[in-house]
Structure 1
Amino acid sequence: MTTLGEALISLLEAHGVDTVFGIPGVHTVELYRGLARSKIRHVTPRHEQGAGFMADGYARASGRPGVAFVITGPGLTNTITAMGQARADSVPMLVISGVNATATLGKGLGHLHEMPDQRGMMEKVALFSYRVTEAGELPGALARAFALFSSSRPGPVHIEIPTDVMVKPADTIAALLSNVAPPNPDGAAIASAAKLIAASRRPLILAGGGAKQAGVQLKHLAERLGAPVVQTANARGLLHGHPLCVPASPSLKAVRALMADADLVIAAGTEFGPTDYDGYSDGGFVLPANLIRIDIGADQLARRPATVLIHADCAAALDALVLEVGGTSLVSDGGQARAASARQAAFAEISPALQAQVRVVETIRDTLPSAIIVGDSTQPIYAANLYYDHDRPGGWFNAATGFGALGYGPPAAIGAALAVPDATVVCLTGDGGFQFTLPELGAALDAQAPVIFVVWNNRGYREIETSMLDVGVEPVGVSPAPPDFCKLAEAYGIGAERLADIGLLPQALERARATAMPCVIEITVD
């Protein structure tokens, strides 16, 4: 007899899952019955939050959904923070949990890990939460999740299986696979957008995280129109080094001036969130008056007004626009010059200290070309989110925008390294954030994930301390003492070195990459 728990593994394999992140417990033992015999790799984090962040990093690096297995109750609540980050950044994540036996649910009888309404709680953070009560329901629940991931704006999905349902017979169930695709761009909307484009003289493109898979199409349209391309943090790397690229935050005055000067703005895959467009909370961002919005999510399109709305995947919509405007280049009024001026003004706008931190990130990029850099909320990440041009599409992501979860970087970097084993992966984290998920060093070693952990050690939460001082609040609670990160790494059997001179970073990075093992480089900062 094949149990439902065993069938789950076969169904996940059929959907292309090759890795799951999780910590087994008494409420998920039956889900592991078929795992040892499968081709799916299991990675054990040191905390369920790490499982969620690893799944997130895996998804962002690979473009495939990340999958986490967690126990009912505390295992699932530990994962909620990671699900919140995935929801904020539209990351496809499937969280499969156990739940207590069906007959006990909602009774308040005091069972282990019992919650009043686990699924009700998850419905507040997941795109949808589904409880499987019979074996025949599982293929449909998984099909619904994977269809959502491929056809609309993704995010976290939760499926829970009661312990008594995990052992039910499931010999006859089979995977329900569908080729659900995003909606095709509406022809009338494309035609309307093309008319606006033809009439414009100073067009501008805003690219967000939803355009990460549309780099080729974005480049074609930008060059056809001679339009500068402003990239939010989640779109960096799409047009590295291109004369039309503006790798700077729309929160900067120079970028806002570029937007205000444009007579048409094409927004591809961006939600206009405040962490990208009003990072200083000064209220200075103004939605463009003449706006074409492209988004895979109909609900997202409905949240802000636009002149033309195109409900479609960014790649398909940009392709359609290129075809509609025709083969003749529509050279705008000095697009490359406008982009160059914006780049220069944007970088000059940030402080010398921030410029120096951007140079640190550029050092990592230039020493390790085409590396994936996964960031936590730390000073160089904040600085580079303001201005930084990465050299790999989809190779720059962090938790310093959107939900903003500290501790994201280390486990997400592990997930990315396992998803793209031929890429060099760097985790850039601060001493404060690293301590949130520091034990995941052990998971990196277990999984042989060769992540280079670069720790920016300024002995505290300096970004928060600065925010307090800026508004006249005496800093409190912002100087937690860091441990000796090198000794801790060595305790896990991981190589480590400490740098007091940032000029030594390139050589340290080269040494770390040569080991093909996880390594820690600690940079002590005044």
Structure 2
Amino acid sequence: MPAPTGAQHLVDALTALGTEVVFGLPGVHNLPLWEALADTDIRLVGVRHEQTAGYAADGYARATGKLGVALVTTGPGAANTLAAVGEAMASAAPVLIIATDIPSTLRRPGVVRGVLHETSDQQAMFAPVTKAGFTVTSADQVAATLHRAARLALQPQSGPVYLGIPTDFLSERTPARRPPRSHARPSEIPDLSEAEAQLAAADRPLIWAGGGALRAEAGEAIGKLAERLAAPVLTTFGARGLLSVDHPCLAPNPVHAPEVGALWDEADVVLAIGTDFDGLMTQNWLMPKPKKLIAINVDPDDAAKNYQPDITLVGDARVLVEALKVEERSGIAALVGRLAKVSARVRQRIKEEEPQAADLLSTLDEVLPADAVVVADMCVAGYWIGGFHRVRAPRKLAYPMGWGTLGYGFPAALGAAAAGGGRAICVTGDGGFLFGCGDLHTLAQEQLPVTTIVVDDGGYGMLRYDQDRAGLPRRGVDWDSPDFVGLARSFGVHADRVSGFGRAFRRLLGEFVESDEPNVLVVRAKMAPPLNTSPRWYRKESP
């Protein structure tokens, strides 16, 4: 019996890792992989653009916590994923980009010969937007290198990793090297006594939970600690859904609302879990540093790069939070009352500032299935979702506020839906949807359970707001939108349209999310941006 090919080694390694779905685009250099995958139980979702493959892998990773895999071809095919990989890096999504490269037999060191799709250093293109990159140097290393790359992508802090394979290795037959063993080290618990003492002595403790807390599955432990401390919990965009919406200590989002920001300002001890205090959450660090800051993080440098902690506890968020010993204190009833008032003020603010946003948010709260995954794009409606939507559970919101890539929503929703954990609800603008609308074909082909809400305001609504606010003429932000309903139907996807987010929207969305098929709902509406967008931040630089 002949030895397996490099392509067979790769798919065997993916199978051994428990891979269920791969997103990809065929190219002349990677066709052996498509052939090898056909003999496995791995679902290969063919997309219409490599950027979609990257975003879909990201959406799958965020919805599951598992490795998202994108399979693309050489040169421009690999380069087309870079925007998606950058978003995955900024949001710590574990994505593996598997890209072929030109045949090893045709490459000469230091010379670009003009081979089809040749790049002088394909791996180097990915260096700024990945945790690491690997290029296979012989066919017998394919499986071992893939295992190494996948392990690194999933290792906290998770993130994207690049794996390049010269195309001739895919057809070469060779015995495989044994994959490297994973040597998991037991997590050591640092001395917690000083942190425990500061939390016990705090008059107004507060917990700030970031994406690292969610990825560590620390929600239950954080919820119990918050109740013992009678401390409000503020969650970042990446940690939305960490606590249930009815948890007594969960503060309403976002911290960009002055009523919520006051909770931070009043705190005398802040316990920061799995966060780096990025500019988007802190209004570019205009939030004052707390009087006392305790940080829990897998990376001490990450914990200290924006606000210097007084105490840094390095390790797994769930393990360390569970290990903190703090006596139960009084004050939970008063906290619940305070948070209820804050929530009421925030909701009233929304109704007064943008009634259409209030209608959108209340409809999503009422009609979405319990297991729905909401995927928002970089658009005005998406900003309202990212800031104010009541997220019911971990991994039920994907929001591209790491790198902030327009066009994320629709392709990421394909990946979230392919994960099989519930219907994906994509909220996107007309501009972002046009980035990847060709993948309506993928939606129809795969019959993925996605409801896409396209908010059509006839242009780039956020940029239009910026120009109007600055007193500038509108340039490049307005257009006559295409017939999105006709476009979707031309691909065989059911679609309909409404004006605004009133009763007709509520009725149709309720019908669409109960369907077993993909569908598109186009909403003609214009909305003002919310407080969590930078032009509306309430904290200002001193004059």
TM-score by length of 2: 0.90
Q: Which of 225, 228, 231 is the aligned partner of 1:221?
A: 225
Residue 427 (structure 1) aligns with? 426
The structural deviation recorded for 1:472 is 2.6
Verify: 1:273 aligned to 2:275, yes or no.
Answer: no
Please tell me whether the aligned partners of residues 251 and 285 of structure 1 are also in contact (alpha carbons under 8 angstroms).
no
Residue 313 (structure 2) aligns with? 310
Residue 450 (structure 1) aligns with? 449
Q: Distance in 2 between matches of 1:217 and 1:259?
A: 21
Q: Distance in 2 between matches of 1:509 and 1:54?
A: 23
Q: Distance in 1 between matches of 2:86 and 2:38?
A: 30
**1:56 corresponds to which letter in structure 2?**
D
Residue 335 (structure 2) aligns with? 335
Residue 287 (structure 1) aligns with? 289
The structural deviation recorded for 1:397 is 1.7
The structural deviation recorded for 1:144 is 2.5
**2:228 corresponds to which letter in structure 1?**
R
Residue 96 (structure 2) aligns with? 94
The structural deviation recorded for 1:432 is 1.0
**2:366 corresponds to which letter in structure 1?**
D
CA deviation vs aligned residue, 1:330-384 (integer Å, no higher than 9, x gap) = 6479332343343344445557344531430331231013221101112222123
177 and 67 in structure 1: CA distance in 2 versus 1, 3 angstrom threshold: farther
Give unmatched runs, 5+ long, in structure 2.
527-543
51 and 358 in structure 1: CA distance in 2 versus 1, 3 angstrom threshold: farther
Q: Distance in 2 between matches of 1:138 and 1:390?
A: 40
Q: Which of 96, 117, 120 is the aligned partner of 2:121?
A: 117
Residue 255 (structure 2) aligns with? 250
Residue 491 (structure 2) aligns with? 492
Q: Distance in 2 between matches of 1:97 and 1:88?
A: 21
Residue 69 (structure 2) aligns with? 67
93 and 35 in structure 1: CA distance in 2 versus 1, 3 angstrom threshold: same
Query: What SS does the corresponding residue of 1:436 show, helix, strand or coil?
Result: helix
**2:122 corresponds to which letter in structure 1?**
Q
Q: Distance in 1 between matches of 2:153 and 2:128?
A: 18
Which moved further from structure 2: 164-173 or 203-212?
164-173
Verify: 1:51 aligned to 2:56, yes or no.
Answer: no
Residue 459 (structure 1) aligns with? 458
Verify: 1:372 aligned to 2:376, yes or no.
Answer: no
Q: Distance in 2 between matches of 1:224 and 1:136?
A: 55
Residue 204 (structure 2) aligns with? 202
Query: What SS does the corresponding residue of 2:323 show, helix, strand or coil?
Result: helix
The structural deviation recorded for 1:175 is 3.4
Q: Which of 7, 11, 15 is the aligned partner of 1:9?
A: 11
Residue 404 (structure 2) aligns with? 404
Matches within 5 A, 1:467-478: 467-478=466-477
The structural deviation recorded for 1:256 is 2.5
What's the RMSD between the two structures over aligned residues? 2.1
Tell me the percent identity. 34
Q: Distance in 2 between matches of 1:380 and 1:123?
A: 33
Residue 513 (structure 1) aligns with? 513
The structural deviation recorded for 1:389 is 2.1
Q: Distance in 2 between matches of 1:310 and 1:347?
A: 36
Q: Distance in 2 between matches of 1:309 and 1:14?
A: 37
Q: Distance in 1 between matches of 2:133 and 2:220?
A: 35
450 and 369 in structure 1: CA distance in 2 versus 1, 3 angstrom threshold: closer
Q: Distance in 1 between matches of 2:204 and 2:420?
A: 39
Which moved further from structure 2: 333-342 or 152-161?
333-342
163 and 18 in structure 1: CA distance in 2 versus 1, 3 angstrom threshold: same
355 and 307 in structure 1: CA distance in 2 versus 1, 3 angstrom threshold: farther
Please tell me whether the aligned partners of residues 7 and 34 of structure 1 are also in contact (alpha carbons under 8 angstroms).
no
Verify: 1:32 aligned to 2:31, yes or no.
Answer: no
Residue 482 (structure 1) aligns with? 481
Q: Distance in 2 between matches of 1:351 and 1:358?
A: 5
Aligned pair count reads 516
Q: Distance in 1 between matches of 2:449 and 2:438?
A: 16
465 and 222 in structure 1: CA distance in 2 versus 1, 3 angstrom threshold: same
350 and 276 in structure 1: CA distance in 2 versus 1, 3 angstrom threshold: farther
173 and 73 in structure 1: CA distance in 2 versus 1, 3 angstrom threshold: same
**2:481 corresponds to which letter in structure 1?**
P
Please tell me whether the aligned partners of residues 428 and 454 of structure 1 are also in contact (alpha carbons under 8 angstroms).
yes
Residue 417 (structure 1) aligns with? 417
**1:39 corresponds to which letter in structure 2?**
D
332 and 192 in structure 1: CA distance in 2 versus 1, 3 angstrom threshold: farther
16 and 298 in structure 1: CA distance in 2 versus 1, 3 angstrom threshold: farther
Q: Which of 167, 190, 193 is the aligned partner of 1:187?
A: 190
The structural deviation recorded for 1:147 is 2.7
Residue 176 (structure 2) aligns with? 172
Residue 138 (structure 1) aligns with? 142
Q: Distance in 2 between matches of 1:287 and 1:145?
A: 37
Query: What SS does the corresponding residue of 1:284 show, helix, strand or coil?
Result: coil
174 and 481 in structure 1: CA distance in 2 versus 1, 3 angstrom threshold: farther
Residue 525 (structure 1) aligns with? 525
The structural deviation recorded for 1:394 is 1.7
Query: What SS does the corresponding residue of 1:69 show, helix, strand or coil?
Result: strand
303 and 90 in structure 1: CA distance in 2 versus 1, 3 angstrom threshold: same
CA deviation vs aligned residue, 1:432-484 (integer Å, no higher than 9, x gap) = 11111111111111111010011111111111111122223222100133211
Q: Distance in 2 between matches of 1:43 and 1:16?
A: 16
Q: Distance in 2 between matches of 1:506 and 1:179?
A: 52
Query: What SS does the corresponding residue of 1:34 show, helix, strand or coil?
Result: helix
258 and 429 in structure 1: CA distance in 2 versus 1, 3 angstrom threshold: same
**1:415 corresponds to which letter in structure 2?**
G
The structural deviation recorded for 1:524 is 1.0
Q: Distance in 2 between matches of 1:330 and 1:141?
A: 54
Q: Distance in 1 between matches of 2:187 and 2:48?
A: 43
TM-score by length of 1: 0.93
The structural deviation recorded for 1:145 is 2.5
The structural deviation recorded for 1:514 is 3.4
Q: Distance in 2 between matches of 1:57 and 1:211?
A: 19
The structural deviation recorded for 1:151 is 3.2
Which moved further from structure 2: 402-411 or 286-295?
286-295
Which moved further from structure 2: 450-459 or 142-151?
142-151
Please tell me whether the aligned partners of residues 376 and 385 of structure 2 are also in contact (alpha carbons under 8 angstroms).
no
